[in-house]
Every structure is written in structure tokens, then in C-alpha cells.
């Protein structure tokens, strides 16, 4: 991971390592998109400067090549930032839910009775969307699914 992200302790679970990796990937992608917009506008500005021969470019006045601030890549990113942030937020929530599911799976595999006992005592207190923990025992670990698909 990069220097801006703290390293996980050596004793971290596989689920925590996957979550950290997925989170790093997500943050890096959002940063890449923002950086791409900035670089695109900077390259355009530099091209106009480099091609300028006094106050003309290819015989046309340099003002014809002026960058309209409403048409820049950064302006387009600002216009669509809510969609980008919503996608990043949804991906982050999905990563977290996958992390929790992986942890529950690890607990259930290590000590199957742990979740059954908790489910019995909490069943009367709050309704659960799951009627049983059978899905935990039949769900293959996430690592196995990725390895099988690659």
C-alpha cells in the first residue's frame, strides 16, 4: 500500500486485509479520476502556450483557443461529482458488508455454536432478516471464489 494508508498489523485477518485492499483501491480510483481531470486541463493549457507564436496560433488569434472554464475537465468532474461520490460510497458500503460477512463466516467455521447461541437469545428481542445461519456454512470463502474465477 502507499505511504498515505496505514499498514495493517501482521496479525490482521484475511477479511481485514481484503477490506483494506479494496478500500485502498477505491480511494486510489477516485484520486485517479480527479488527477486525470486536472492533468487534462493542464496539458491543454500548456499546448496553447507552446503553440502560441506571439499572439497567434496557426494564423488565428490566440483568444480563439482560450479555455472556457465551463468546458474544462475539472468543471465536468464538479458537475458530476455527486454521482461519482455516490458510486464510491456504495462501493465502500459493499466492501464493508463483505468484510462483516467474511468475519461472520470465519467465526461460524471456527466455532459453529457461537452464532447459534447468539441467534437463539436475540431472536425474541429483534426480528432478524435471516431465519437461520445455514448460509454461513454453505457459503465458500471469498478467497476461494476469486481463485476459482481467475
> What percent of the chain lies above the pLDDT cut of 90?
33
What mean pLDDT value characterizes the chain? 77
Non-local (6+) Cβ contacts of 74 within 8 A are 37, 38, 41
Q: Which of 5-19, 69-83, 105-119 has the highest mean pLDDT?
A: 69-83
Give the residue-averaged pLDDT of 125-138. 55
Among the residue ranges 67-71, 108-112, 114-118, the one predicted with the least confidence is 114-118
Q: Pick from 137, 77, 64, 63: which is nearest to 106 by CA?
A: 137
Q: Is the model's pLDDT at 84 over the cut of 60?
A: yes
Given a contact cutoff of 8 angstroms between Cβ atoms, the answer to whether 68 and 62 are in contact is no
Q: Is the model's pLDDT at 149 over the cut of 50?
A: no
Residue 145 has what pLDDT? 42
Residue 5 has what pLDDT? 67
Confidence class for position 63, pLDDT limits 50, 70, 90 = confident
Burial of 22 (0-12, 13-18, 19+ CB in 10 A): middle
Amino acid at each position: 500500500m502507499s505511504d498515505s494508508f496505514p499498514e495493517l498489523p501482521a496479525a490482521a485477518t484475511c477479511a481485514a486485509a481484503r477490506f483494506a485492499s479494496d478500500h485502498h483501491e477505491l480511494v486510489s480510483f477516485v484520486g485517479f479520476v480527479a488527477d486525470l481531470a486536472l492533468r487534462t486541463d493542464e496539458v491543454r493549457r500548456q499546448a496553447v502556450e507552446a503553440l502560441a507564436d506571439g499572439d497567434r496560433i496557426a494564423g488565428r488569434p490566440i483568444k480563439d483557443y482560450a479555455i472556457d472554464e465551463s468546458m474544462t475537465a475539472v468543471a465536468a468532474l464538479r458537475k458530476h461529482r455527486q454521482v461519482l461520490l455516490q458510486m464510491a460510497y456504495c462501493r465502500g458500503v459493499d466492501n464493508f458488508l463483505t468484510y462483516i460477512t467474511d468475519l461472520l463466516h470465519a467465526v461460524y467455521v471456527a466455532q459453529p455454536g457461537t452464532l447459534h447461541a447468539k441467534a437463539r437469545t436475540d431472536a425474541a428481542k429483534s426480528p432478524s432478516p435471516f431465519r437461520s445461519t445455514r448460509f454461513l456454512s454453505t457459503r465458500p470463502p471469498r478467497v476461494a471464489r476469486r481463485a476459482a474465477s481467475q
